[in-house]
Amino acid sequence: MDYIKVDNKTGGKYIEDYRKLTLEYSISVGGLEKYFEGLKNGVLYASKCKSCGSIYYPPRSSCGKCGSSDIVWIELGKEGTLLTFTEINVKPATHSHYDDYIIGIGSFNGVKVLGLVEAKYDELKIGMKIRYEIVVREPENYYIIVFTPI
Ligand SMILES: [Zn+2]
């Protein structure tokens, strides 16, 4: 293997070196503890600005419209409506080990939520009633939102 390569366009020399990196990071929940506690307890929350009434999902700890940090939490009901859905056949590298899957957007208390749909594609219809649940996906060990038809 030739260690030093030549770029076809520029003629410049370069080396290629491939290594696997592990990335560890932490994300501040800064004012959004309620949302993450909700995930753990199977409940979704949106945030609502007390000043101007804007609703955010995913929630925000301050309002993007008026800048207020005075928010209230809205618990989203478990039952909603399927607004749209699609089957994912070409998956990102992070999901390449999964079979094809369906994602959808549901409306819960008027708030749009993205989730994985557990149903056969042919059985789904826009406008149908759905329920969400929050499950821990393995082996990644993170929370995902799953919709199932009612
Ligand atoms: Zn606001």
**Residue 65 Cα to ligand 1 middle (Å):** 5
Cβ contacts of residue 42 below 8 Å, gap of 6+? 133, 134
Measured from the Cβ of residue 43, the count of other Cβ atoms closer than 10 Å reads: 17
Residue 8 within a domain: no
**Residue 73 Cα to ligand 1 middle (Å):** 13
Same domain, 52 and 39: yes
CB 147 within 8 A of CB 78: no
Number of structural domains (the chain) is 2
The per-residue pLDDT string of the chain (150 residues; one tens digit each, 9 = 90 and over) reads 568 899 999 999 998 888 888 888 887 788 899 999 999 999 999 999 999 999 999 999 999 999 999 999 999 999 999 999 999 999 888 888 889 999 999 999 999 999 999 999 999 999 999 999 999 998 888 899 999 999
**Residue 48 Cα to ligand 1 middle (Å):** 8
**Residue 117 Cα to ligand 1 middle (Å):** 32
Any idea what the CATH number is for the domain that residue 135 is in? 2.40.50
Residue 66 within a domain: yes
Last residue of a domain, one of 12, 41, 75: 75
Tell me the C-alpha distance between 120 and 149, whole Å: 10
**Residue 57 Cα to ligand 1 middle (Å):** 14
Encoding tokens for residue 66? 């008026």
Encoding tokens for residue 20? 């696997």
Same domain, 66 and 82: no
| Global pTM value | 0.80
Same domain, 83 and 141: yes
